[in-house]
Structures are given as structure tokens and as C-alpha cells.
């Protein structure tokens, strides 16, 4: 039976997870087994549940409790479902809820790069990509365009930040991902590496040698500065996207979509 609770006190401690805890506090670095994340919108919440994530509570616009949120609420047993009108929820959270629904969930155990790359043929590697919108968009492109795994250095935004999850449309729960120290681990995992960069004498993204690689990792760098020179030097290839009108580069999320389209597993189907 659903546990529907109308919000009468915006300062109630049980609402802290939605209103007053920062992303770093939700992450709970000292005790990661206690960490939480916030999934936003029914579609994203559904994908998180399908991936095995454990829900703790819902925050739902009252008019959706018996409509678009009903099946998800029923799916999660008797966890608390906090409800209020749209304007109250906006005051509580500080933003307008996407389709009127949030869910606080337990963070799943972290995967290891060796585990998720076992059998993978195409991987995306992000070095210090810090913007949650870019990370979310890259995950969405990775899911759609044939990447088997995403690997991130510790300077990257956490893929389970609320905005990254929302922009990804929940694909952060569909594409396996893991943290790595640097790209040097990729060789040990059986990958050739392609650095997306403008330095030196880069290959065109259309170079047939890239598509012929059985296992290829596409390495993308931080917004603005791109990949570190040492990272480029460690990679097997340096690759550029052909450009027109004097434009030298694309936003990292846009560049990822172009690269994944050209080199992803879907090209093998």
C-alpha cells in the first residue's frame, strides 16, 4: 500500500534530501554505501528501477499521484511519497520539477573498469569533463550510438548528479561506467586508444584504420582545454573531426556524438 504524505512543513528533516543536501553530501564520500542520488521524471526513475536501483522516497506533485506517477509508486511498495502542489515543490527544491516527480535512491555499488570492459568493443573515455550537462549528453549519445562502456577520470562530474542523470534521460543506468586513474589502463584492458584532439598530425575521423580496430576507446577531454598533452602522447591515435567554415572544434558533447556515430558498434550491425 502506498504511503502518501502531504507536505505541511517545508523544514521537515525527511525533506532534506530534496531541498537542503548538496550533491557532495548525497554522495557521502566517507560512507559511500550510504550514498544517495536523485532521479527526476518518470522515464528516468523507471530506467533506474529497471537497472536495480533501490528507491527510498518520492517527491511528487499532488495532481500526478493518481496519474503519471501511479504505476511507479505502486512498483515501489510502501516507501514515503511526499506530495504538494507544484508551487510548493518549486519553493522547496528551488527548481521546477520535470514532469512533477523526484525519487531519492540508494547509490549502486561502483563497478570496476576491468569488469565492464570484459567483452566490450567500443568505449568512451572522459578526462576531466566537469559539466553535468555535457556528461549527461555524452552518456545519452553513448547509449544511442553503440558504446559498450564509459570510463571517467576522477576529475569528471559524477554521472549520478541530478542534472547529469536528467540530461542523459536515464541512460547512465543503461551504459556501464567506472572510474579510472588515467588512459594508461586502456592498453591493459585490450583497447587501442583514439585521442580526440587537434595537435600534431591527427587522422581524420573517417580514416578506415579506426573502424577496423576490434577494440577501440575514444578519449575526450575537458571543456575548453581538451585533453592533456601527456594523455594525447599515450594514445595510439590522435583523431580530428573534419570541420568547415574555419571552425576548429565542437563542444565535447557534440564531438562525442559525431565520433560515436562514426565509430560505434552500430556501424557493425
pLDDT at 1: 54
pLDDT at 88: 92
pLDDT at 108: 94
pLDDT at 2: 73
H/E stretch holding 61:
strand 55-61
Starting at the edge strand that comes first in sequence, how are the strands of the sheet with 36-40 ordered?
Answer: 3-6, 80-84, 55-61, 101-106, 36-40
Given CA atoms 29, 19, 153, 218 in this order, what sign does their dihedral have? positive
Q: What is the pTM of this model?
A: 0.93
Question: Which residues lie closer than 8 Å to 247 by C-beta, 6 or more apart?
Answer: none
User: Block means of pLDDT (10 residues each) for the chain, length 269 residues?
Assistant: 87 93 88 90 96 96 92 94 93 83 95 95 97 98 97 96 96 97 93 92 93 96 91 95 86 96 75
User: What DSSP character marks residue 121?
Assistant: S
Four-CA torsion 142, 151, 198, 268, nearest 10 degrees: -40
Amino acid at each position: 500500500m502506498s504511503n502518501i504524505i502531504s507536505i505541511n512543513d517545508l523544514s521537515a528533516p525527511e525533506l532534506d534530501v530534496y531541498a537542503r543536501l548538496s550533491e557532495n553530501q548525497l554522495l557521502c564520500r566517507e560512507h559511500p554505501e550510504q550514498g544517495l542520488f536523485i532521479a527526476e521524471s518518470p522515464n528516468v526513475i523507471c530506467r533506474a528501477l529497471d537497472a536495480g536501483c533501490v528507491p527510498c522516497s518520492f517527491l511528487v506533485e499532488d495532481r500526478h499521484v493518481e496519474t503519471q506517477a501511479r504505476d511507479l509508486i505502486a512498483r515501489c511498495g510502501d516507501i514515503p511519497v511526499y506530495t504538494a502542489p507544484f508551487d510548493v515543490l518549486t519553493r522547496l527544491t528551488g527548481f521546477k520539477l520535470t514532469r512533477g516527480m523526484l525519487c531519492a535512491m540508494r547509490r549502486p555499488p561502483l563497478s570496476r573498469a576491468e569488469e565492464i570492459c570484459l567483452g566490450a568493443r567500443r568505449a568512451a573515455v572522459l578526462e576531466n569533463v566537469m559539466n553535468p550537462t555535457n556528461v549527461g549528453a555524452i552518456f545519452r549519445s553513448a547509449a544511442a550510438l553503440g558504446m559498450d562502456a564509459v570510463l571517467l577520470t576522477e576529475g569528471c562530474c559524477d554521472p549520478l548528479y541530478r542534472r547529469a542523470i536528467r540530461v542523459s534521460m536515464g541512460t547512465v543506468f543503461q551504459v556501464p561506467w567506472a572510474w579510472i586513474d588515467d588512459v594508461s589502463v586502456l592498453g591493459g584492458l585490450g583497447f587501442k586508444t583514439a585521442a580526440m584532439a587537434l595537435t600534431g598530425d591527427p587522422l581524420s575521423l573517417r580514416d578506415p584504420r579506426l573502424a577496423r580496430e576490434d577494440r577501440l576507446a575514444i578519449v575526450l577531454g575537458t571543456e575548453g582545454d581538451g585533453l592533456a598533452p601527456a594523455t594525447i602522447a599515450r594514445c595510439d591515435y590522435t583523431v580530428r573531426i573534419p570541420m568547415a567554415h574555419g571552425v576548429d572544434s565542437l563542444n565535447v558533447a557534440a564531438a562525442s556524438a559525431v565520433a560515436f556515430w562514426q565509430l560505434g558498434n552500430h556501424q557493425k550491425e
